[in-house]
Amino acid sequence: MLYIYLAIVLFLLVFIVWNMIQEKNVLLQIDAALVVVPLVLRLLLIK
């Protein structure tokens, strides 16, 4: 189950990062980055 959930996290992360890169507004990019950081930490099992 752990790996299934890590796959879900990775799946969501790809779309969020994609949106973050495509976003023109810097504030919204930072907003997305706030979401990306915990997802990356969870994906790497650091937290």
Partner 1 sequence: MEIELIVFLVMLGVFLLGNFLFKLPVSLSMAAGAVAGALVAGEGIPLRHLFEGTFVYMDTILIISTAMVFMTVIQESGALEALNAVIVSKFYKVPAVLLVLLMFIIMFPGMITGSSTAAVLSAGAIVAPILLQMGIPAPQTGAILAIGAIMGMAAPPVNIPAMLIGGGVDMPYIGFEGPLAFLTIPGAIFTVLFIGLRYCKNLDYEKIKGGLDLEIGKKYGIKLYIPIVVIVVLMVACRMLPNLIPNLGMPLIFMIGSAVGLFTGKRFNAVKAIREAMKTTVPVLGKLMGVGMFIQIMTLTGVRGYIVINCFGFGLVVLYAAICIVMPAFGAVSSYGAASVLGVPFLLALLDTGDQVVIAAALSFICSLGDLMPPTALAGNYAAQIVGEKYSKVLRYCVIPFIVCVLFGLFTLLKSRSLGFLT
Phi, psi for 3 (deg, rounded to 5): -70, -30
Is residue 6 a contact residue for partner 1 (CB under 8 A)?
Answer: no
Phi, psi for 16 (deg, rounded to 5): -70, -45
Which residue's CB is nearer to partner 1, number 39 or number 44?
Answer: 39
Alpha-carbon distance 28 to 20, whole Å? 8
13 contacts 26 by C-beta, under 8 angstroms: no
Among 12, 21, 24, 43, interactor with partner 1 by CB under 8 A: 12
Is residue 47 a contact residue for partner 1 (CB under 8 A)?
Answer: yes
| Interface contacts to partner 1, rule CB under 8 A | 1, 4-5, 8-9, 11-12, 15-16, 18-20, 27-28, 30-32, 34-35, 37-39, 41-42, 47
